[in-house]
Structures are given as C-alpha cells and as structure tokens.
Amino acid sequence: MEINAAEFKAKCLKLLDEVAASGRPLVITKRGRPVAQLVPVPTRSPAPLFGFLKGAVSFHHDVLAPGGEAWSAEAGDEDDLYAAPEGARR
C-alpha cells in the first residue's frame, strides 16, 4: 500500500492502526518517490520460563564430591570461634 506524505500526515493515527491490524507495510511517498516505509512490529512469543538456560552451564568436575580441604566444622576444632576475645569481660 502506498500513500503520499500529506495524506499520511492527515491520517497518521488511523494508518498506524491499519498497519498494526493488517500486518502489511505502508510506503510513504513524496512527489511520487518512496521516502519511508511503515511496518508493523513483529510479534514475539515470550521466552519460556523453565528451561531457557538449558545448556548455558557446564560442570567440569563432580560438584557433590568433597573439596579436598577439611572444614573446621567437620574436624571439630572450631572451639576458638566461640572463645571470648582478649580483654573482654565475662
């Protein structure tokens, strides 16, 4: 569909609605030469909520295996964490 610039200016809002409804582009001309094209915005379906990051993360080792370094909580030597700081009153 083609329309000259003066007519487009007069019917702009109506033409925007028509292009959105029909999905067909509108060519705007000036002195018979095309100067612009009005096209509808493509509809995009929303990204799925679950699974959209599938394959984005990879593990190079067993994440559930022990790390190799003993923790104080596992070794039972965390008593110094509960000791009163020097100079503190009881």
In order of 11, 24, 56, 79, 86, the CA distances from 7 in angstroms are: 6, 18, 51, 85, 87
Do the beta carbons of residue 38 and residue 11 sit within 8 Å?
A: no
User: C-alpha dihedral over 31, 36, 40, 45, to 10 degrees?
Assistant: 170
Does the pTM surpass 0.85? The reply is: no
Q: Using 50, 70 and 90 to split pLDDT, how confident is the model at 29? A: very high
**Mean per-residue pLDDT, 23-31:** 96
Using only the alpha carbons of the chain, give its radius of gyration: 34
Domains of the chain, residue spans: 2-38
User: Each residue of 37-86: pLDDT tens digit?
Assistant: 999 998 888 878 888 888 888 888 888 887 777 777 777 777 777 888 88
In order of 2, 8, 34, 41, the CA distances from 15 in angstroms are: 11, 7, 17, 14
